[in-house]
Structure 1
Amino acid sequence: MKIQQAVKKENSLWEFVGSNEDLQNPLVLVFGNRFLLENENIYEEIRSIYPNGEIVFGSTSGEILGDSVMDNTLCLTAIEFQKSSFVVKKANIKTYNGNVELLGTELLKKLPEENLRHIFVVSEGSTINGSTLIMGLEKFLSKKVTISGGLCGDDSRFEKTIASYNNNPKEGEIIVIGLYGESLEVSCANYGGWTAFGPERIVTKSENNVLFELDEKPALDLYKQYLGDKVKDLPEAALLYPLSVKVKDQEETIVRTILNINEKENSMTLAGDIPEGSIVQLMMSTVDDIVEGAYTAAEYAMRDRKAKPELALLVSCVGRKLVMDQRSEEEVEEVIEVIGNQAKVSGFYSYGEMAPFAGQNKCRLHNQTMTLTLISE
């Protein structure tokens, strides 16, 4: 596996990190600030660097490259697979009239089945229900194939996210990257580091990823009581206090970030489903807890691996970044300490992370976690 990386700041040229030798038919991942990705020349600019590349764009709430966390940049990682291969497919939610599950199912059908080992997802993040997307992707998927990835971000603005494949980035795009090959080894893991507090409450009214009532009371009103003077900073303030969700008949607790609020309906829109009958609690964290969570995620991802990872794709939550502020790089440094310096590290801060729980194959949508996808040939 040959990997090139580069970073570009606003009004600057691309700065390559390490080698910039010619690559044959590389997968090119470009994660970056939404405003920089809206440049009408961005696709042609990357195409001029990699004429034979398959180029995937995704907007972020912060970029990860090596051991650095950056803002307002474009970060590029180009990968030439030598023993394995990849296939990229895309779809737009508008084409499916908002039917996210059908979109996921149809996207999966576009990926050849033979030797498919893993699917990495770069998805629209501001309007899509990530849980339903996963449901569609897994509907007819072999249990041997794993899924990971993330929902694109837009810093803490929550205005819109953009993504694309071999085109200028736009709204509503979902891209899947199928990885193929018998020698390919992919391992995934996630972990948070958040602690639940306050009373447990029952979800008494919800619809997919929209929460209306807790304990038969308006959910938004209850939530505001806890925020106090931070109410004026909603929805951004909600990233500091996500919800712990215990779903009936499921052992693992999931975390849900609040993406938006509706004052008129007194409701909150979350990044993924929140079924009626679930038990929820508020959560909070410290920088040290988040950093320790990243270390744990890396340990889970490295468990039982046969080969050292050559590429590490990190997707972490924008809420973690807001808590850590200037110390965001510490969680990336903890990951590198565990996985080793031989792996090239790329990734982004997101509105939702996709990965199985450790030791499982079924993908879940997470919030407020550090998610790793470790790849080697």
Structure 2
Amino acid sequence: MIGCTTDGECSSALAFQEDSVVVVLFAGDGITAKASVARGLAADLDGAVARAVDALGAPGPLTVALSESMGVSGAVLVDALDRHLQNTLVVGGTAGDQWRFEGTHQLFGREVLTDSVVLLTFHGDFAVSVGVESGWCPMGRRAKVTRAEGAQLLELDGQPALEVFRATFGSHIAPTPEHPFAVFDGSDRFYLRAPFPHLFENGAIQLAGDIPEGAEVQLTEAGRDQILDGARSAVRSARASFPGEQPTGLLVFSCAARKQVLGSRTAEELDALQADGLDVDVAGFYTYGEIGPLVTGGATRFHNETVVAVLVGR
């Protein structure tokens, strides 16, 4: 058994909740699972991940990762997972604490942990697919990240990042999760980095994940309807690439920042996920960062403000 604390839960049993426990049981003829844990991420992240992956042995078609979100970089963690976990679809999210940002916990068997990532890999005769979408649309011009330090975006095209942001939205507007940065992945596909409303004298913008120097980025916009459409698109993408005959379950990892922006309409996200007549059990939670590839078979990425929808079945 693995698990973590959240920023809210969703399920076909209790819909959207903020004070529930969601338990998902995987069972089927010939299906087995193995769990492992990487401890002490802050001290030796890459080594801890490597040891946990070694303990898993050869991974199956699907591996779920649930991680610490404070004190470690989600992007650096996911890069390590991508290096060490080969030939498996890696999905999941980082733990939440109901937007308090005080501390999160991970569950491994009977242990309650911090500073860890728990892994569960599945073997057997089953089908799996993934859809990763947000609903945000790029706007304005693309810019090159000319200076960044971890999750702090310092310069775009040689200008202070805050100046570029305010040139788009106005001098009185502070960066917020309502306008994340699209970080392009060598094509028209992109992952998101959410900005925090902290103002720095040097014009930097603090992001909810590392951003690489040299990357092309673009500011984005979306209304609540478009954000909900992103959830629908994630499931449609997963259905379009599902290799089996019949999906039976949907795992969902959605972002706590989406929940903040959706506000009173957060409960509608589950309806959007179940649109188009998808009749399967649904379970998931709101994370502080989502884990999954931009496309099936692609590199594992760390996302903000995104829905990772995972279909499983036969």
Q: Structure 1-normalised TM-score? A: 0.73
1:110 is matched with which residue? 55
| 1:279 CA displacement | 2.5
In the aligned structure 1, how far is the partner of 2:64 from the partner of 2:216?
A: 30
Over 3 Å counting, the alpha-carbon distance change for 1:85 and 1:271 in structure 2 is: farther
Query: Is the Cα–Cα contact under 8 Å of residues 121 and 147 in structure 1 kept in the other structure?
Result: yes
Residue 244 of structure 2 corresponds to residue 300 of structure 1 = no
Alignment of 1:10-89 (within 5 A): 54=1, 56-66=2-12, 68-89=15-36
Over 3 Å counting, the alpha-carbon distance change for 1:333 and 1:160 in structure 2 is: same
5+ unaligned residues in a row in structure 1: which ranges?
Answer: 1-53, 232-236
Q: RMSD of aligned C-alpha atoms? A: 2.7
Over 3 Å counting, the alpha-carbon distance change for 1:158 and 1:282 in structure 2 is: farther
2:301 is matched with which residue? 364
Of structures 1 and 2, the larger Rg is shown by 1
Over 3 Å counting, the alpha-carbon distance change for 1:210 and 1:103 in structure 2 is: farther
Query: Is the Cα–Cα contact under 8 Å of residues 297 and 371 in structure 1 kept in the other structure?
Result: yes
1:138 is matched with which residue? 82
In the aligned structure 2, how far is the partner of 1:304 from the partner of 1:203?
A: 33
Query: Is the Cα–Cα contact under 8 Å of residues 102 and 136 in structure 1 kept in the other structure?
Result: no
Q: Which has the higher contact order (CA 8 A, sep 6+)?
A: 2
> 2:248 is matched with which residue: 302, 305, 310?
310
| 1:199 CA displacement | 4.4
2:150 is matched with which residue? 208
| 1:130 CA displacement | 2.5
> 1:274 is matched with which residue: 208, 211, 216?
211
Query: Is the Cα–Cα contact under 8 Å of residues 164 and 174 in structure 1 kept in the other structure?
Result: no
| 1:191 CA displacement | 0.8
5+ unaligned residues in a row in structure 2: which ranges?
Answer: none
Alignment of 1:147-296 (within 5 A): 147-181=90-124, 183-220=125-162, 223=165, 226=169, 231=174, 238-247=176-185, 249-258=186-195, 261=198, 263=200, 267-296=204-233
Residue 40 of structure 2 corresponds to residue 93 of structure 1 = yes
> 1:346 is matched with which residue: 279, 283, 286?
283
The letter of the residue matching 1:89 is S
| 1:273 CA displacement | 3.0
| 1:165 CA displacement | 0.8
Over 3 Å counting, the alpha-carbon distance change for 1:251 and 1:337 in structure 2 is: closer
In the aligned structure 2, how far is the partner of 1:161 from the partner of 1:265?
A: 31
Over 3 Å counting, the alpha-carbon distance change for 1:362 and 1:202 in structure 2 is: closer
| 1:371 CA displacement | 0.9
Q: Secondary structure at the match of 1:77?
A: coil
Over 3 Å counting, the alpha-carbon distance change for 1:186 and 1:211 in structure 2 is: same
In the aligned structure 2, how far is the partner of 1:228 from the partner of 1:61?
A: 32
Q: Structure 2-normalised TM-score? A: 0.87
The letter of the residue matching 1:319 is A
| 1:224 CA displacement | 6.8
- Number of positions where the alignment pairs a residue of Structure 1 with one of Structure 2: 311
Residue 77 of structure 2 corresponds to residue 125 of structure 1 = no
Query: Is the Cα–Cα contact under 8 Å of residues 187 and 373 in structure 1 kept in the other structure?
Result: yes
The letter of the residue matching 1:78 is L
2:269 is matched with which residue? 331
